[in-house]
Structure 1
């Protein structure tokens, strides 16, 4: 990040500790990463929720239809014996990278 700036946010230690714990529970590696994510979402005018119960939220109806279609397609391919399978994560990543055009 060449064009970086630093933002200092005063907060008490308990708040900082709880924020770090919550960020970790949400899968972020730091409180700063969580705050960057939230900041970007605000700028992009996206809504995000971190409510109790379901931290992932519900997919939109359109996304739900797409996910259900993909699941049905995968089940059909599996039953027909045409679903790709892998014996290692390395093999899977190689195939995935090939599919997305990444050469490494």
Structure 2
């Protein structure tokens, strides 16, 4: 005897592609910071992370954790860049 599943078929939530891009940019920024000393990609990681969160809420997609991780990494790298620049400027001033 076959069991009948009467629950409605729900399609799995789509993963937001912009959240994947944001996390990729954030990870690339870590490598750029280590090997090149630059923090320029942090702006793009933060921007795409915010856009991804907006799209996820509007379209009810998955990937909010990826976008949040990209935002955390992006803001942390940007803060590190600001603090290291301030340290260099203070060192040069005194």
Q: TM class, shorter-chain normalised?
A: under 0.3
Does 1 or 2 have the higher relative contact order (CA < 8 Å, sep 6+)? 2
Query: As a proportion of its length, which structure holds more helix?
Result: 2
Structure-1-length-normalised TM-score: 0.25
TM-score, with structure 2 as normaliser: 0.27
